[in-house]
Amino acid sequence: MSKLVRFGISIENELLSLFDSYNSKKKYKNRSEAVRDLIRDKLADEKIVDPGAFVFGIISFVYDHHKREIQKNLNTVQHDSYKSIQFSTHIHLDHDNCLEIIIVRDKASKIKQLAESIFGFKGVKQGKLTLMASYK
């Protein structure tokens, strides 16, 4: 961990009291830790919107495995992206529905492209993409 540096900031009373209620809700012990987390979070968010940035992602989706071609399409698109995929798992939710979770690591643009092709397949009922980045 690098050396801690102190700095002062000016802030409106109202904004500070909102920040303090946020901090107590989030169980922060002091404002410094909360400010550090907000900065890290903001820097990571900036990286996620940069298409060339290297990020991590979770692609999760629910689909009906009876739909024609769905298994073949999912298999093909995942083999085409084998370099980006770190891990995947499959859960049989009920008689018809499956949940699949894929953990990926690549450029933001590639991950978004993969997620969009999966979510576009006939039979995929709901899809979520979560992107994360290291702030460094």
Q: Residue 136 forms beta bridges with which residues? A: none
* Rounded-to-integer distance, Cα 20 and Cα 24, Å: 6
Contact status: 26 vs Ni ion (CB under 5 A): no
- Cβ distance to Ni ion smaller for residue 32 or 89: 89
Contact status: 124 vs Ni ion (CB under 5 A): no
Q: Which residue has the tokens 């904004």?
A: 15
- Cβ distance to Ni ion smaller for residue 31 or 92: 92
> Which tokens go with 47?
């990286």
- In the set 42, 83, 92, 122, which binds Ni ion (CB under 5 A)? 92
Binders of Ni ion among residues 47 to 76 (CB under 5 A) are none
Q: Are 62 and 98 in contact (CB under 8 A)?
A: yes
Given the rule CB under 5 A, which of 34-42, 72-80, 95-103, 105-113 is the region that contacts Ni ion?
Answer: 95-103
User: φ, ψ for residue 128 (rounded to 5)?
Assistant: -135, 140
Contact status: 34 vs Ni ion (CB under 5 A): no
Contact status: 98 vs Ni ion (CB under 5 A): yes
* Rounded-to-integer distance, Cα 114 and Cα 96, Å: 24
**83: number of CA atoms within 13 Å, CB side?**
4
Closest distance to Ni ion from the beta carbon of 105 (Å)? 25
Interacting residues toward Ni ion by CB under 5 A: 92, 98
